[in-house]
Structure 1
Amino acid sequence: MILKNLNYPLDFKFKITTLSSDFNITDVHGNYVCYVRQKLFKLKENVVIFSDESRTNELYTVKANQWIDFNASYTMREASGNPVGTLARKGMRSFWKSTYDVLDLNKRPLFQITERNAWTKFLDGLVGEIPIIGMFTGYFLNPVYDVKDTTGRLIFELKKMPSFFGRRFQLERKVDIADEHETLVVLSLLMMVLLERERG
């Protein structure tokens, strides 16, 4: 199964009415791309992607490969169980700038997701601890993530949009790539958003 013919930009918008970290992905016309649900109370990350909010048609799953892993990785699969690829967090590098590798079925790097400005992460952690003021960091400390291929070419740009309660990200595609690679990148970014959601 492939996510294709997507109309960019895509909006990632978290729901604020549920305990779980659910969010919708919609296209520029407001049409559903998918609905993302992170299962609560799991020792390992367990994310299910549905076609829409009714949760009747499961498309993909994303599961952590380790219980506790500094360089954690997450396998993405179709609902049938067929693997799509892997998202791997770069542990030490992510202390300064959030960095993830997007790997193919043979664990070979295809793309890298990197936070554009390391100071955004630093200031968010610093200002976020200040009473009252820290509540408003989502309006002025918004990270941008670049997705580049192995040649350094910019493929996608994911921006955290200013928001207070509802957390919203917007994804722009810069160049066309193969449908299966596009699906892998979108799945990787939705998982990364869940991992980075506590910021801003």
Structure 2
Amino acid sequence: MVLKNLNYPLDFKFKITTLSSDFNITDKNGNYVAYVRQKMFKLKEDVIVFNDESKSQELFRIKADRWLDFNASYSINDLLNNKNYGRLARKGMRSIWKSHYEILDQNDQLRFLVSEDNAWVKIMDGIVSEIPIIGMFTGYFLNPSYTVKDSSGTEYFRLKKMPSLIGRRFQLDRLKDIDDQDESLVVLSFLMMVLLERSRG
């Protein structure tokens, strides 16, 4: 299946009432796009994408190919049609300084590149967060953003961490029109990426 007629920006908002890393995805009108649940106590990342918070229908599943995520790959599977959708690959050594990911399609062909816009935000966040009291408020003024580009450098999407005391909200905006298949692949890749980047701070 593909995610169609999405009204941007999309809000990714983490729930604070559960131990697991669950979050809602809603559009600019507050309508549900999906509900995402990360399975707990798994050595390898295992994420299920539901239709909404009722969890009445599983749409996609995202699973890591290894238990260490330093250079891991995350396979995206369409559960309704029982097929592989593509994968998100984290570029380990490059991501030490500045987060880098590759988005590949179901034929394992590179479609898009995702990069952190400003590595200094992450560095400053790490430094300032260690300062008593002041460090509690870094989520309000040190918020990274990530841009999706194709191989020619054309920008298609931008994800921003929104000001928040505990860093529980992200916003995804589309910068340029894109076909439904590629759009779905990017949005689904960002679901996994948000979980990875949030765990890094």
Shorter-chain TM band: over 0.9
Distance 2:147 2:23 in 1: 21
The reply to whether residue 21 of structure 1 matches residue 21 of structure 2 is yes
Contact 1:111 1:148 in 2 (8 A): yes
Q: 1:186 to 1:84 in 2, by over 3 A?
A: same
Distance 1:170 1:68 in 2: 27
Contact 2:62 2:75 in 1 (8 A): yes
Q: Which residue of 2 aligns with 1:35?
A: 35
TM-score w.r.t. the length of structure 1 is 0.96
Q: 1:178 to 1:37 in 2, by over 3 A?
A: same
The reply to whether residue 156 of structure 1 matches residue 144 of structure 2 is no
Q: Which residue of 1 aligns with 2:94?
A: 93
Contact 1:124 1:199 in 2 (8 A): no
* Sequence identity percentage: 67
TM-score w.r.t. the length of structure 2 is 0.96
**CA deviation string 1:52-87 (max 9, x = no partner):** 000011100000011225311100001143100010
Distance 1:166 1:156 in 2: 20
Structure 1 SS opposite 2:199: coil
Structure 1 SS opposite 2:96: helix
| Aligned pairs, number | 200
Contact 1:16 1:166 in 2 (8 A): no
Q: 1:163 to 1:90 in 2, by over 3 A?
A: same
The reply to whether residue 182 of structure 1 matches residue 177 of structure 2 is no
Distance 1:60 1:85 in 2: 11
Distance 2:27 2:152 in 1: 28
**CA deviation string 1:87-135 (max 9, x = no partner):** 0001011111111000112222100110000101111122222232222
Q: Which residue of 2 aligns with 1:128?
A: 129
Structure 2 SS opposite 1:111: strand
Distance 1:113 1:191 in 2: 12
- The list of structure 1 runs, each at least 4 consecutive aligned residues, that deviate by more than 4 angstroms after superposition, is none
Distance 1:157 1:166 in 2: 17
Q: Which residue of 2 aligns with 1:168?
A: 169
Where does the alignment leave 5 or more consecutive residues of structure 1 unmatched?
Answer: none
Contact 1:37 1:47 in 2 (8 A): yes
Contact 2:88 2:104 in 1 (8 A): yes
Distance 2:58 2:159 in 1: 25
Distance 1:180 1:72 in 2: 23
- Taking only aligned residues, the RMSD between alpha carbons, in angstroms, comes to 1.2
**CA deviation string 1:152-178 (max 9, x = no partner):** 000001111000136111111011111
